[in-house]
């Protein structure tokens, strides 16, 4: 229903100039001073035209969708160019794999996303077969308050014991059921890490800065779910699987783009 409504509005705007002329109103300024009777006649003309030419709604919606897609591509390209430092090398991120890797895969994830859990197996398989690959992990808790709690602990682990982050990440992401703060802290304890320090760090206000930064990047890149990725010059939506990611990584290494001509 939302798309139909947008289409009607768009069609009405496109038709306004024509129908103003049909109604004997040559300018919008004249239209602003029309009488109630003229206004009703004008609205009836629009309604009649749309009912007699309903295909224009689909045409208008297609045009609107193309315009929105183009605007998104422009915004994504600008973000990739202007905010590359935050995407690939922010202080507010953790990493797994070769820190000096020649290709970086940036993954935006939520610990309670079942597709992210499946995607972790793809990440591990890629890293196992590619010693020159680096994964950057962006904490994007969007599914629940439980996710926020779990990610606060995750950020704290990444800050205080970055060399143990990959172990923590795999244990928490790989578990079954809901992931929350209590469960994340239990993993911290089981790993023999300093529970009090990590708990205290997780409560710091500036942890919210991490989430704001990542959410801002995700929005600018057109992401509306997890997992989402950035590889070089491309934003990738969804858990597309090992084969798709590997091909894009191989292409980027070969020609500097995820799609080689």
Map out the domains of the chain as residue ranges.
2-82, 85-255
In what helix (H) or strand (E) does residue 230 lie, and over which residues does it extend? strand 228-231
Distances (CA, A) of 79 to 32, 73, 231: 41, 10, 13
Q: Where are the alpha helices (DSSP H) in 32-113?
A: 36-52, 55-82, 84-89
The pLDDT assigned to 60 comes to 72
230 φ/ψ angles, rounded to the nearest 5 degrees: -125, 125
Helix (H, G, I), strand (E, B) or coil at 103: strand
Q: How far is the C-alpha of 5 from the C-alpha of 111, rounded, in Å?
A: 36
| Lowest mean pLDDT, pick from 3-17, 31-45, 70-84 | 3-17
The domain 85-255 is placed in CATH, from the list 3.30.70.20, 3.30.450.20, 3.40.30.10, 1.20.1110.10, at 3.40.30.10
Q: How far is the C-alpha of 183 from the C-alpha of 13, rounded, in Å?
A: 54
The pLDDT assigned to 3 comes to 34
**Cis ω before 9 (30° cut-off from 0):** no
Q: How many CA atoms lie within 13 A of 259 on its CB side?
A: 5
* pLDDT (tens digit per residue) in 198-207: 999 999 999 9
* pLDDT (tens digit per residue) in 128-180: 999 999 999 999 999 999 999 999 999 999 999 999 999 999 999 999 999 99
Whose structure tokens read 């890797």?
101
Residue 238, C-beta contacts closer than 8 angstroms, at least 6 positions apart: 115, 225, 227, 228
List 229's β-bridge partners, or say none: 107, 236
């Amino acid at each position: 229903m939302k798309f139909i409504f947008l289409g009607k509005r768009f069609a009405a705007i496109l038709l306004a100039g024509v129908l103003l002329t049909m109604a004997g109103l040559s300018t919008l300024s004249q239209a602003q001073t029309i009488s109630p009777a003229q206004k009703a006649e004008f609205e009836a003309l629009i309604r009649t035209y749309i009912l007699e030419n309903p295909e224009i709604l689909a045409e208008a919606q297609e045009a609107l969708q193309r315009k929105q897609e183009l605007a998104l591509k422009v915004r994504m390209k600008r973000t990739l160019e202007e905010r590359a430092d935050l995407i690939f090398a922010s202080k507010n991120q953790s990493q797994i794999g070769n820190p000096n890797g020649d290709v970086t895969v940036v993954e935006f994830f939520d610990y309670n996303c079942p597709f992210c859990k499946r995607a972790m197996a793809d990440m591990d398989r890629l890293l196992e077969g590619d010693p020159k690959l680096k994964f950057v992990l962006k904490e994007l808790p969007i599914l629940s308050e439980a996710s926020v709690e779990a990610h606060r602990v995750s950020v704290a682990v990444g800050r205080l014991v970055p060399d143990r982050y990959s172990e923590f990440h795999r244990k928490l992401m790989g578990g079954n059921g809901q992931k929350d703060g209590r469960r994340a802290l239990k993993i911290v304890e089981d790993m023999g890490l300093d529970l009090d320090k990590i708990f205290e760090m997780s409560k710091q206000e500036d942890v919210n800065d991490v989430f704001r930064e990542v959410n801002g990047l995700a929005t600018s890149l057109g992401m509306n779910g997890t997992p989402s990725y950035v590889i070089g010059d491309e934003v990738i939506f969804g858990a597309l699987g090992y084969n798709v990611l590997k091909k894009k990584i191989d292409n980027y290494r070969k020609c500097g783009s995820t799609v080689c001509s």
